[in-house]
Amino acid sequence: MKPKIWLSSPHMSGKELPYINQAFESNWVAPLGPNVNGFELDLKTYLEEDRHVAALASGTSALHLSLILLGVGYGDEVICQSKTFSASANPIVYQGATPIFVDSERETWNMCPIQLETAIKDRIARGKKPKAIIAVHLYGMPYKVDEINNVGLKYDIPIIEDSAESLGSEYKGQKCGTFGDLSILSFNGNKIITTSGGGALVTKTKSLKEKAVFLATQARDDAPHYLHSHIGYNYRMSNIIAGIGRGQMTILDSHVSNRRSNHEFYLNSLKDINNIVFLQEPNGHFSNRWLSCILLESMTIREGLRLMLEKENIESRPLWKPMHQQPIFKEAPRYLNGVSDELFERGLCLPSGSNLNDDERDRVLSTIKTYFNA
Ligand SMILES: *Cc1c(COP(=O)(O)O)cnc(C)c1O
């Protein structure tokens, strides 16, 4: 069996261990400490805008806290991009609220601003104004930020920016992770940088960050005994994990350029094969190309290629199955235009790690060429 080629695997810089050793030497083996503060500062500096960062246990916990900070509760409605990973939508249910799914547009594969407005109007007509909008920059491609923000502003609904897949991406020269009223990042094992597991919440004010940290550390009131006037969570990032993050921040930009060069490689080498479609960057959109994705002519062709890659011990994956197609969300209201269903049928993510070497890329390429007799 040839060695496995992963879709996206952790890629260490070599600078992580000194931070972890420091944590051991100073005995900061806790969900607070110098690495947590340092990692937050590294992220804040990287994002450039005037933002505040709370390092958390996961991207999912950051999404959950976002909803809590926006006052989402039992019986509320929250709009969510249908084409995404389930972690974007699950926290809505944690809060006892109802997800309202909105379809994608073709240019970025993310939330369609037209469908978004249709959904908002209809929910209001039915008697409930949505409490928040969760928009996602899938696979690193920024959503149509101006258009989505304009709809949010028009109806005065806050936006939660799910930037889990798009650290390092930009829209009109501004970093993703700074566009939402609240934004979230993920450092899970397969993301653009990883802390093994982890996430962050990005806020526009210091007081919102402080409130998030308060909730994430069991909501202890200021008293010598344990006093609680809020329900708390154990969502803070550990100081050991944050040490990995500090090391990873030193090579984030090179990870982005490696991922972009994977995409270039696939694009240039497959462009002569008929009917393989790549997602282009619209004007003003800069994608970290977290995953390189292609569209095939049909689901049959896509599955055939996936299985052939699998036989060669190469991992590939269909695009996210839309949330409105998931059994768990079959009752949820949805506003559809057919785009995300079609993308799911035709789309495949190819190996995209920043640590992919030339031999591995050539193995992927020759398997695809064999499949198409090219
Ligand atoms: C990975 C991911 C999340 C969840 O982040 P975790 O850190 O794994 O909890 C949320 N949304 C999207 C789009 C993701 O890809």
DSSP line for 150-197: HHHHHHT--EEEE-TT-TT-EETTEETTSSSSEEEEE--TTSSS--SS
Residue 1 domain flag: no
Percent of the chain with pLDDT over 70: 100
* Mean pLDDT of the region 95-105: 98
End-to-end CA distance of the chain: 24
**Average pLDDT score over the chain:** 97
Residue 142 forms part of a structural domain: yes
**Residues 245, 260: one domain?**
no
- Report if residue 7 sits inside a domain: no
Residue 78 inside a domain? The answer is yes
Assigned domain for 3 exists: no
Pocket of ligand 1 (CB under 6 A): 58-60, 84-85, 87-88, 136, 162, 164-165, 186, 188, 199
> Which amino acid appears at position 109 of this protein?
W
Residue 228 lies in a domain: yes
Q: Ligand 1 centre from 199 Cα, in Å?
A: 8
Same domain, 289 and 178: no
Q: Choose among 315, 298, 295, 290: nearest CA to 367.
A: 315
- Cβ neighbours of residue 127 closer than 8 Å, sequence gap 6 or more: none
Tell me: pLDDT of 88 over 90.
Answer: yes
Residues 232 and 259 in one domain: no
Residues with Cβ within 8 Å of residue 49, at least 6 apart in sequence: 174, 175, 178
Residue 176 and residue 184: Cα distance in Å, rounded?
10
CA distance linking residue 237 with residue 36, whole number of Å: 7
Determine the distance separating the centroid of ligand 1 and the alpha carbon of 13, expressed in angstroms: 22
Q: How far is the CA of 164 from the centre of ligand 1 (A)?
A: 5
Q: Residue 250 gets which letter from DSSP?
A: T
Question: Are residue 135 and residue 259 in the same domain, yes or no?
Answer: no
CA distance 113 to 124: 17
Position 74 scores a pLDDT of: 98
Average pLDDT estimate for 23-45: 96
Interval 357-371: pLDDT, tens = 999 999 999 999 999
Q: Is the pLDDT confidence value at 199 over 90?
A: yes
Strand 277-278, strand 199-203: pairing: unpaired
Answer for the pair 200, 53: CB distance below 8 angstroms, yes or no. yes
Q: How many CA atoms lie within 13 A of 4 on its CB side?
A: 6
How far is the centre of ligand 1, averaged over its atoms, from the C-alpha of 88 (Å)? 7
Pocket test for ligand 1, best of 67, 82, 88 (most atoms within 8 A of CB): 88
Question: Which pLDDT belongs to residue 170?
Answer: 98
Kindly state the average pLDDT of the residues 26-46. 96
Please tell me the residue having the least CA distance from ligand 1 atom 14: 164
Q: Does residue 99 have a pLDDT over 90?
A: yes
Both 157 and 65 in one domain: the answer is yes
Domain boundary among 249, 269, 286: 249
Domain boundary among 193, 216, 249: 249
Atom 5, ligand 1: residue with shortest CA distance = 59
Checking DSSP bridges between strand 292-295 and strand 52-56, what pairing results, if any?
unpaired
**Distance of alpha carbon 35 from the chain centroid:** 23
Range of the domain at 193: 16-249
Residues carrying an active site annotation: 191
Residue 272 pLDDT level (bands cut at 50, 70, 90):
confident
Instruction: Identify the residue whose C-alpha is closest to ligand 1 atom 6.
Output: 59
- CATH number, domain with residue 114: 3.40.640.10
Same-domain pairing of 218 and 257: no
Is the domain of 202 the same as that of 302?
A: no
Give a yes or no: residue 88 inside a domain. Answer: yes
Q: Which of 249, 277, 301 represents a domain boundary (last residue)?
A: 249
Same domain, yes or no: 228 and 260: no
pLDDT at residue 271 in the model: 87
Based on the domain organization, do 234 and 314 belong to the same domain? no
Contact 59, 86 (CB under 8 A): no
Residues 173 and 90 in one domain: yes
Averaged pLDDT for residues 149-164: 98
Residue 107 domain-assigned (yes or no): yes
Q: Which atom of ligand 1 is nearest to the CA of 186?
A: 7
Same domain, 74 and 196: yes
Which pLDDT tens digit goes with each residue over 304-344?
A: 999 999 999 999 999 999 999 999 999 999 999 999 999 99
The stretch 298-304 carries a mean pLDDT of 96
pLDDT at position 1, please?
A: 85
Domain count, the chain: 2
Contact 29, 250 (CB under 8 A): no
Report yes or no: 215 and 88 within 8 Å, Cβ to Cβ: no
Counting ligand 1 atoms within 8 A of each CB, the residue from 143, 161, 188 with the most, and so the one to mutate, is 188
Taking the centre of ligand 1 as the mean of its atom positions, its distance from the CA of residue 245, in whole angstroms, is 16
d(CA 144, CA 119): 17
Residue 231 structure tokens: 């329900």
Q: Are residues 227 and 116 in the same domain?
A: yes
Q: Ligand 1, residues 162, 195, 237: which to mutate, most atoms within 8 A of Cβ?
A: 162
* Cβ neighbours of 308 (radius 10 Å): 15
Q: Starting from the edge strand earliest in sequence, which strands make up the sheet with 199-203, in order?
A: 52-56, 199-203, 182-186, 159-162, 132-136, 77-81, 98-102, 334-335
Mean pLDDT within 24-46: 96
Q: Which CATH number belongs to the domain containing residue 293 in this structure?
A: 3.90.1150.10
